[in-house]
Amino acid sequence: MAPITIRSVLISESVDPRCRAVLEENGIRVTERPNMKTEELMAEIQNYDGLVVRSATKVTADIINATDNLKIIGRAGTGVDNVDVDAATKKGVIVMNTPSGNTISAAELTCIMLMNLSRNVPQATMSMKQGNWDRKKFMGSELFGKVLGIVGLGRIGKEVASRMQSFGMKTIGYDPITPPEVSASWGVEQMSLEKLWPQCDYITVHTPLMPSTVGLLSDETFALCKRGVKVVNCARGGIIDEAALLRALESGQCGGAGLDVFVEEPPKDRSLVNHPNVISCPHLGASTKEAQARCGEDIALQIVDMVKGKNLIGAVSQTFLVFAPKTLPK
C-alpha cells in the first residue's frame, strides 16, 4: 500500500487520550472538538486530512463530500454504520475501525444484562432505594440449565457463549458465515432460526445492523418463541424491532429485555425504557477504561501505519479496511 500523507486529524468525540498522544508522537497535528453540530463539522472538516469518531458522529455523504482534503476516517470502535462507507469509497476516503478493541467489554455487558434479567437486580435496587423490602416481587430464576440463543457468532457472540456456559447455560446459535463446526468447538450448536426461536429461554443478538438483520426479532419471530422469553440487544438498535418488543412485553410473550442500544440514541420515545421488565443502558457496551484505551490506541496506530504505508491486513472494499489490532488482550 502506498503511503498517504496525514498531517492533521480532527477527533470529534471523547476518545482515549492515547489516540492523540500516538498521533502527535508521529508528527500529526490533532484537534479535539467533541459535540459539534453537523454544520460545524461540515465546515471544520475542510481543515483536516483525517477524522476520528466513535458511534455518535454521523459521518454522512454531505460531510464526506464537503471536502477534498479528507483522506481517512478512523472509527475507534467496531460498528461503522454511522459512517457512509459507500460515499467514502466513491470519494476514495479510507474508512477503518478497531473491531476487537471492545469485544470483551461488550460481551461482559451482555452477560451482565442476562444475569440481571434472571434476578431483577436493577428493579430490586430501585425498590430498596424507595425504602421497600420486597422479597416476593423480585423472585428470579436460575440461569443454570436454561437455553441461550446467540444470533451472530462473531467476536462478541463467541465470548458471550463461553462466559454463559460457565453458568451452566446450554448455548445454541445461528450465523450465516461462521461454520457450524467452528462454533461447535466453542460449545455452540448451530441451527436454523426457525428451529432456534422455540427452544430459547434467553436470546441475545450480536450481528451488525444491515438490511438482513433489521427486525430479526419481530412480531412474527416473537410469536415463534417460548412464552416469557428474555432478550438482550447490546449490538445495534433495530435488530430487535422496538415496536414489536413493546407489544411482546405488554402481552407477556417477552418476559424481559436488556437494551444497551436504540434505533434513536438517545431515544425520544421512552415507552421501552420505562417498561418495568426492561433494563437498559445508554450505549455503554464499549464504555470501559480498557476498551477505550485499546480502541483509541489502535486507531491511532493504524493511521500511523497508513502514513508509513505498512501493515495493511485485509481490505473489505477498496477503501474500507480492517486492521489487526495492536492492543488485543492476551
Ligand X SMILES: O=C(O)[C@H](O)COP(=O)(O)O
Ligand Y SMILES: NC(=O)c1ccc[n+]([C@@H]2O[C@H](COP(=O)([O-])OP(=O)(O)OC[C@H]3O[C@@H](n4cnc5c(N)ncnc54)[C@H](O)[C@@H]3O)[C@@H](O)[C@H]2O)c1
Size of the site for ligand Y (CB under 6 A): 32
Q: Cα(277)–Cα(272) distance, rounded to whole angstroms?
A: 9
| β-pair partners for 50 | 9, 72
Nearer to ligand X, 56 or 315 (CB): 56
The contact pattern for ligand X, residues 4-43, with x = CB under 6 A and - = no contact, is ----------------------------------------
For the segment 230-269, give every residue that binds ligand Y (CB under 6 A).
234-236, 260-261
Q: Is 171 in the site for ligand Y (CB under 6 A)?
A: no
Residue 3, classed as helix, strand or coil, is coil
Q: From the list ligand Y, ligand X, none, which binds 230 (C-beta under 5 to 8 Å, kind-based)?
A: none
Q: Is 55 in the site for ligand X (CB under 6 A)?
A: yes
Q: Cα(117)–Cα(182) distance, rounded to whole angstroms?
A: 29
Tell me the backbone φ, ψ of residue 140, rounded to 5 degrees: -110, -165
Q: Is 74 in the site for ligand Y (CB under 6 A)?
A: no
Q: Is 149 in the site for ligand X (CB under 6 A)?
A: no
Active site residues: 236, 265, 283
Q: Is 154 in the site for ligand X (CB under 6 A)?
A: no
- Tell me the one-letter amino acid at 306: M
Q: Is 78 in the site for ligand Y (CB under 6 A)?
A: yes
Q: Cα(240)–Cα(265) distance, rounded to whole angstroms?
A: 15
Q: Which residue minimizes CB distance to ligand Y?
A: 154
What are the E-state strand segments in the chain? 8-11, 29-32, 50-53, 72-75, 94-97, 147-151, 170-174, 189-190, 202-205, 229-233, 254-259, 278-280, 314-315, 320-322
Q: To 10 degrees, what angle do helices 289-308 and 103-119 make?
A: 160
Q: Is 178 in the site for ligand Y (CB under 6 A)?
A: yes
Q: From the list ligand Y, ligand X, none, which binds 54 (C-beta under 5 to 8 Å, kind-based)?
A: ligand X
Instruction: Classify residue 226 by its DSSP letter.
Output: P
For the segment 82-121, give every residue that binds ligand X (CB under 6 A).
102
The residue within the footprint of ligand Y, chosen from 207, 221, 253, 319 (CB under 6 A), is: 207
